Amino acid sequence: MIRVFFVFGTRPEAIKMAPVILAMRKRPRLVPILCVTSQHREMLQDVLRIFRIEPDHDLQIMNLDQSLFDITRLTLERIERILIAEEPDITLVQGDTTTTFAGALASYYLRIPVGHIEAGLRTDDKYRPFPEEINRRLTTCLADIHFAPTVWAKERLLKENVPAERIAVTGNTVVDALTIVLERTKNDPVLKEGLESRFPFVNDRDKKLILVTAHRRENFGKNLGSICFALREIARRGEKRVEIIFPVHPNPKVREPVREALQDVKTIHLIEPLDYMSFVFLMNRCDLILTDSGGIQEEAPSVGKPVFVMRDKTERPEVLQTGIAKLVGTEPDRIISELISWLESQERPIRESLQPNPFGDGRASERILSIIEEEIRPK
Tens of pLDDT, residue by residue over 129-153, are 899 999 999 999 999 999 999 999 9
Are 124 and 224 in the same domain? no
pTM value?
Answer: 0.88
> CATH number of the domain that 44 lies in?
3.40.50.2000
Do 20 and 141 lie in one domain? The reply is yes
Q: Which of 146, 156, 232, 249 is catalytic?
A: 249
Looking at 27, 217, 259, 269, which residue is catalytic?
217
**What is the three-class DSSP state of 308?**
strand
Residue 196 sits in the same domain as residue 80 = no
CB 363 within 8 A of CB 179: no
* Catalytic position from the list 132, 218, 318, 366: 132
Query: What integer best gives the mean pLDDT of the chain?
Result: 91
Q: Which domain holds residue 56?
A: 2-171+362-375
- Classify residue 133: in a domain, yes or no: yes
CA 348/CA 80 separation, integer angstroms: 54
Instruction: Please check whether residue 336 is in contact with residue 308, taking contact to mean a CB–CB distance below 8 angstroms.
Output: no
For the chain, how many structural domains are there in total? Answer: 2
- Both 114 and 211 in one domain: the answer is no
- CA-based diameter of the chain, in Å? 65
As a whole number of angstroms, the distance between CA 349 and CA 307 comes to 11
> Would you give the distance in Å from CA 308 to the centre of its chain?
16
Selection from 306, 305, 309 nearest residue 329 by Cα: 309
Name the phi and psi angles at 358, rounded to 5. Answer: -70, -10
- The answer to whether position 353 is within a domain reads no
For residues 45 and 90, state if they share a domain.
Answer: yes
Active site residue 118: yes
Looking at per-residue confidence, does 81 or 185 come out higher? 81
Q: How confident is the model at residue 292 (pLDDT cuts 50, 70, 90)?
A: very high
- Residues 201 and 267: their CA atoms lie apart, in Å, by 11
Comparing 24-28, 235-239, 286-290, the range with the smallest average pLDDT is 235-239
Backbone φ and ψ for 38, nearest 5 degrees, come out as 60, 40
Mean pLDDT within 81-99: 97
Q: Is 104 helix (H, G, I), strand (E, B) or coil?
A: helix
Residue 177 lies inside a defined structural domain of this protein: no
Q: From the candidates 89, 96, 299, 338, which is the catalytic residue?
A: 96
Q: Are residues 219 and 264 in the same domain?
A: yes
Structural domain contains residue 351: no
Residue 309 domain-assigned (yes or no) = yes
Respond yes or no: is residue 249 known to be catalytic: yes
pLDDT at 56: 97
Q: Quick check: is 29 catalytic?
A: no
The separation between CA 204 and the C-alpha centre of its own chain, rounded to angstroms, equals 28
Whole-number pLDDT of residue 354: 55
State the CB neighbour count (10 A cutoff) for residue 115: 27
Active site residue 58: no
From 12, 8, 1, select the one nearest 86 (Cα to Cα). 1
pLDDT tens digits, residue range 247-291?
998 888 899 999 999 999 989 999 998 889 999 999 988 999 999
Contact assessment for residue 13 and residue 95, using Cβ atoms and an 8 Å cutoff: yes
Crossing angle (nearest 10°) for helices 295-303 and 173-187: 50
Task: Please check whether residues 214 and 274 belong to one and the same domain.
Answer: yes
Reported as a single tens digit per residue, the pLDDT across 180-220 is: 999 988 888 888 888 888 887 776 667 899 999 998 888 88
Could you say which of 118, 133, 218, 298 is catalytic? Answer: 118
Assess whether 132 carries a catalytic annotation: yes
Examine the pLDDT at 223 and tell me if it is beyond 60. Answer: yes
Q: Is residue 231 part of a domain?
A: yes
> In sequence order, what DSSP letters do the residues of 10-33 get, joined into one string?
SHHHHHHHHHHHHHHTT-TTEEEE
CA 343 to chain centre: 27
Helix (H/G/I), strand (E/B), else coil: 225: helix
Per-residue model confidence as pLDDT tens digits over 311-349: 998 999 999 988 889 999 999 999 999 999 998 884 544
Residues 121 and 38 in one domain: yes
Mean pLDDT, residues 295-312: 92
In a domain, 176, yes or no: no
Residue 98 lies in a domain: yes
Q: Are residues 235 and 339 in the same domain?
A: yes
195 and 110 co-located in one domain: no
**Which residues lie closer than 8 Å to 47 by C-beta, 6 or more apart?**
11, 14, 15, 18, 53, 275, 276
Within the chain, where are the H helices? 11-24, 41-50, 68-86, 98-109, 132-142, 151-159, 173-187, 189-198, 222-237, 252-262, 276-285, 295-303, 317-321, 332-344, 364-375
Do 137 and 217 fall within a single domain?
A: no
The verdict on whether 269 is a catalytic residue reads no
- To the nearest whole percent, how much of the chain has pLDDT over 70? 96
Q: Is residue 331 located within the same domain as residue 245?
A: yes
Q: Which of 78, 116, 215, 367 is catalytic?
A: 215
